[in-house]
Amino acid sequence: MMTLVSHLIGSQRTASFLCGLILFLALWSPPQAFAHDFHATLAEVQYNPQTRSLEVSLRLFTDDLEKALDTMYPSQGPFRLNEADVYLSAYLKEHFQAYTSGKQLLELQYVGQEVAVDVTWLYFEFPCGDQPPTRVVNSVLTELYDDQKNLVNLTYQGNKQSYVLTKGETVASLR
């Protein structure tokens, strides 16, 4: 790489200096310098008629989720997500709900998580019994970011609907 850089710049000494400067800045820059400016989640929500439950897969940025837990439970952090299932479940119960046509709140059952480097998948479900779900409420991360967008893809009885929910509009209806 150094040969390519020196060829493009024209001087081995200048190329060495620039490569060193870039490495220095990359290693010593604060983490905020690499933070993302896009605040979004993706929820895949499907009704499973065999188990009569609403199954949810929620993808979000790991750093945003950690910040949400640190904000909601300041005396318990900093959080390591692989050890935070109890707090993740409580956070989801407050920020992601499902309701029946009778406006009954369904009980969220936390299933688990998968953490990648910068993205986390959370898995949970809402057993519905004989009462089919009619709406979901997703306010995940809206307490942190005014520009938060929560994309919700709902699949119910073969029909797929997509919603972009925001801080001011957190409800998606199953039709």
Span 113-134, pLDDT tens digits: 998 888 999 999 999 988 889 9
Tell me the sheet residues that pair with 99. 105, 135
Domain count of the fold of the chain: 2
In terms of domains, do 145 and 84 share one?
A: yes
Q: Are residues 44 and 6 in the same domain?
A: no
**pLDDT at position 146:** 94
Do 90 and 46 lie in one domain? The reply is: yes
What range does the domain containing 163 cover? 36-173
Same-domain status, 82 and 104: yes
**CA of residue 47 relative to chain centroid, distance:** 21
Tens digits of residue pLDDT in 46-90: 999 999 999 999 999 999 998 999 888 887 767 677 678 899 999
Residues 112 and 90 in one domain: yes
Mind listing the pLDDT tens digit for each residue in 146-155? 999 999 999 9
Which residues neighbour 11 within 8 Å (Cβ) at sequence distance 6 or greater? none
pLDDT for the residue numbered 75:
77
Is there a single domain that holds both residue 44 and residue 19? no
Residue among 49, 40, 45 nearest 144 (CA): 40
Binned at pLDDT 50, 70 and 90, residue 25 comes out as: very low
Same domain as 79, residue 8 = no
Same domain, 104 and 135: yes
Shared domain for 115 and 72, answered yes or no, is yes
Instruction: Please tell me whether residues 43 and 98 are part of one structural domain.
Output: yes
